[in-house]
Amino acid sequence: MDQKYPFSQSEAGRHQDLNKLTNNGKTMNIINIEHIAKIYQVGSEEVHALRDVSLQINKNEYVAIMGPSGSGKSTLMNILGCLDTPTHGIYDFTGVNVSQMNDNELAKIRNKEIGFVFQTFNLLARSDALHNVELPLIYAGVPGSERKDRAREALEHVGLADRIHHKPNELSGGQRQRVAIARALVTRPSIILADEPTGNLDTKTGEDIMALFNDIFELGNTIILVTHEEYIAEHAKRILRIRDGLIEKDETVANRYIPKKNGASKI
């Protein structure tokens, strides 16, 4: 691993700092959020899901977003994932202001730039693993043979080369989540957005999945992890704690938990 990726953990950290200053001193933020708020109208009542949130996330960061239910963390995740737009404020994503985009523009961004991993896997039940992974490429307009190759490659990377024609109900929970991760990776997105990815898995399987995320991170990907479990959050290098629609704390993980490689993935 060290030969492939010349930076040790601390060096990788420094590398990030260098990254920030490239491009003529302009910071290379993938995500730049300024004073966003999200207000829902529930009946006659206004609900402030997010009050005033500003944050930056750089390339190749590993960020966990934590918070109790009702804190606004889901809302923040939806906005980060371009599934929703803020009521106020600016969301600059990969240099593009997406805060006022319409449905179709957002769909395009999600398709190209964001890989989603959900707690409940959210695979298409009637399609096999290969087709599930192909799906984002279909929407991106990638031609058939290239699409199949890339999907197969992504499945190989998550260690499911021998399961490509299995349907979700023929796979274990961990395998399903791997398919979902392959689907998230296949478009080579700018960020991977994982919403409680281990929530429906047992501890052992969850740990495997976290190891896989670590591998993906070490390949240079940017990962945003939404969780309410402290020990899962500690896999990340930075934790954002949300409460009552505000960022309560933005901390660097001093003693990051690095999962053991278990050989399940080929990365």
Partner 1 sequence: MKNFLFELREGLSISFRAIRANKIRAVLTTLGIVIGVTSVVLMSTAIKGIDSAFQKGVASMGSDNLYIDKWEWFNNDIPWWELRNRRNLTMEDYTKYKELAKLPVASAPTVWSTQTIKYKERTVEFILVQGTNSDYINTTNLNFDAGRFFNELESSGGRQVVVLGSEVAKKLFPRGDALNQEVKIKGHKFKVVGVLAEQGSWVMGNFNPDNQAFIPIQNVFKFFQNQSFRSVTFNVRAPNSQMVNEVKEEAIGIMRRVRGLRYDQANDFSINQQEALLNQIDKTIGVIQIAGLFITGLSLFVGAIGIMNIMFVSVKERTREIGIRKAIGAKRRTILTQFISESAIICLLGGMIGLILAIILSLVINQFLPTSIQIDAFVLAVVISILTGVISGFAPAYSAAKLDPVEALRYE
Residues that bind partner 1 (CB under 8 A): 78, 81, 83-84, 103-104, 107-108, 110-112, 116, 118, 122-124, 126-127, 135-136, 138-141, 183, 187
Instruction: Please state the closest distance from residue 256 (CB atom) to partner 1, in A.
Output: 29
CA–CA gap between residue 62 and residue 238 (Å, rounded): 6
Strands 45-58 and 96-97: unpaired
Integer angstrom CA distances of residue 56 from 20, 118, 230, 243, 267: 11, 23, 22, 18, 28
Give the full edge-to-edge strand order of the sheet including 88-93: 45-58, 29-42, 88-93, 96-97
Instruction: Please state the closest distance from residue 73 (CB atom) to partner 1, in A.
Output: 14
Looking at the Cβ atoms of 138 and 258, the one nearer to partner 1 is: 138
Integer angstrom CA distances of residue 206 from 9, 121, 173, 212, 219: 23, 13, 10, 10, 20
Angle formed at CA 192 by CA 230 and CA 89, multiple of 5 degrees: 85
Query: Whats the size of the chain, residue-wise?
Result: 267
Instruction: Please state the closest distance from residue 76 (CB atom) to partner 1, in A.
Output: 12
Instruction: Please state the closest distance from residue 124 (CB atom) to partner 1, in A.
Output: 6
Looking at the Cβ atoms of 49 and 210, the one nearer to partner 1 is: 49
For residue 159 the two structure tokens come to 């260690």
Handedness of CA 105, 85, 237, 64 (dihedral sign): negative
Instruction: Please state the closest distance from residue 34 (CB atom) to partner 1, in A.
Output: 22
- Local structure of 199: helix, strand or coil: coil
Looking at the Cβ atoms of 63 and 123, the one nearer to partner 1 is: 123
Beta pairing partners, 239:
64, 251
Instruction: Please state the closest distance from residue 146 (CB atom) to partner 1, in A.
Output: 12
Looking at the Cβ atoms of 49 and 239, the one nearer to partner 1 is: 49
Local structure of residue 261 (DSSP, 8 states): P
Instruction: Please state the closest distance from residue 102 (CB atom) to partner 1, in A.
Output: 9
Looking at the Cβ atoms of 139 and 257, the one nearer to partner 1 is: 139
Looking at the Cβ atoms of 121 and 237, the one nearer to partner 1 is: 121
Looking at the Cβ atoms of 187 and 222, the one nearer to partner 1 is: 187
- Identify whether the C-beta of residue 190 lies closer than 8 Å to the C-beta of residue 94: yes
